[in-house]
């Protein structure tokens, strides 16, 4: 795989270089340093901020367009390789393709006086979003593009929320011939109860974006001769209009209905967010996609992104845009079509140019 260290203008090489630097959440340092150095060679004023984010700015004006991507990935090494127009690697879709595209698009824009574009490769988006959270105290930019795979011809305007829970069940040991159930059986009953509560909520809501979607992420059991213990980690995708506290209550009630001894702890949660369509940012992206000779579309996502955090705080025009098929997120077959990647750079650069004229 070609490393772009000596070719800062090589757009495919930049993405390949980022993919070559494996950066699961908590181990982003090498990729961050690489991106900062690369942006510096392209003329950005680039640095690593106190949170560990890669930050690069072009232009010096007070009016800022922020391109907020993330540089961390989920775990799982995928050897970086190119076959024809396809590039494989962990993060190719989620979301180094988007982040590399941001850098390449920003450097194409002719910025008039008064404008600047900032690209951020945020850390820890796949866990607690501490990179994006560290930005919330900053002044709101004029508009924000979130780097997530929408597809090169589509704009993502909304994301479901999410909440993460620990559910613990403990009960005393009993003889295996006893009629009393086990802690494992109680935990299964809790999970089944929660699924039933979600199914009841989802009646009449055919779209996944409208539904409560629980997922049993992990389960662990243990015993010491006195007590049996089970701990489950449960994630719940939250639809628009439902508060995190309401979801917490749903989980608590579902657990209590079948296992009085169950203890539910909310680890973290963020509500769903949907951005408006009729903004200068969205109109510019639509026009630039049409310029490629195709009909643009809108989408909402069943996952969660940093849009959920910064959108309601900054309250400025915001949209998510980037190349790639999001169905490949977090999979062992993660890859990106390079023609789509390069098309997304042209589209975003054209949209940014429209916005600053």
Active site amino acids: 72, 125
**How many helices and strands (H and E) does the chain possess?**
9, 16
For residue 290 the two structure tokens come to 């049409």
CA distances from 335 to 88, 308, 330 (A): 4, 26, 11
For residue 110 the two structure tokens come to 């002719």
* C-alpha to C-alpha distance for 119 and 56, rounded to whole angstroms: 5
Torsion sign across C-alpha atoms 319, 321, 327, 330: negative
* 120, 32 contact by CB (below 8 A): no
CB atoms within 10 A of CB 180: 10
Beta partners for residue 81, in sequence order = 88
CB atoms within 10 A of CB 350: 20
Coil vs helix vs strand at 300: strand
Coil vs helix vs strand at 91: coil
* 323, 147 contact by CB (below 8 A): no
């Amino acid at each position: 795989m070609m490393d772009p260290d000596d070719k800062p203008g090589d757009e495919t090489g930049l993405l390949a270089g980022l993919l070559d630097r494996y950066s699961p959440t908590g181990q982003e340092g090498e990729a961050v340093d690489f991106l900062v150095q690369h942006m510096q060679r392209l003329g950005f004023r680039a640095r690593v901020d106190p949170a560990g984010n890669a930050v690069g700015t072009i232009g010096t004006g007070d009016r800022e367009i922020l391109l907020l991507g993330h540089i961390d990935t989920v775990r799982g090494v995928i050897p970086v390789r190119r076959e024809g127009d396809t590039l494989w690697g962990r993060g190719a879709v989620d979301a180094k393709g988007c982040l590399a595209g941001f850098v390449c698009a920003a450097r194409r824009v002719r910025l008039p006086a008064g404008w600047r574009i900032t690209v951020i490769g945020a850390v820890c988006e796949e866990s607690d979003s501490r990179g994006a959270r560290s930005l919330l105290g900053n002044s709101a930019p004029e508009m924000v593009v979130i780097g997530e795979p929408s597809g090169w011809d589509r704009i993502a305007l909304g994301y479901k929320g999410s909440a993460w829970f620990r559910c613990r069940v403990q009960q005393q040991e009993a003889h295996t011939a006893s009629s009393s159930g086990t802690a494992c059986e109680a935990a299964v009953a809790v999970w089944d109860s929660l699924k039933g509560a979600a199914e009841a909520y989802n009646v009449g809501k055919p779209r996944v974006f409208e539904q409560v979607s629980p997922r049993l992420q992990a389960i662990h059991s243990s015993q010491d001769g006195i007590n049996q213990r089970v701990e489950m980690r449960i994630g719940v995708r939250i639809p628009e209009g439902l508060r995190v506290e309401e979801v917490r209550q749903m989980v608590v009630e579902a657990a209590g209905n079948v296992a009085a001894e169950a203890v539910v702890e909310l680890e973290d949660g963020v509500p769903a967010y949907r951005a408006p369509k009729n903004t200068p940012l969205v109109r510019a992206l639509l026009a630039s996609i049409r310029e490629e000779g195709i009909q643009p579309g809108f989408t909402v996502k069943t996952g969660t992104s940093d849009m959920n955090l910064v959108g309601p705080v900054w309250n400025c025009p915001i949209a998510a845009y980037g190349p790639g098929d999001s169905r490949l997120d977090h999979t062992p077959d993660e890859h990106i079509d390079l023609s789509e990647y390069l098309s997304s750079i042209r589209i975003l650069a054209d949209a940014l140019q429209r916005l600053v004229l």
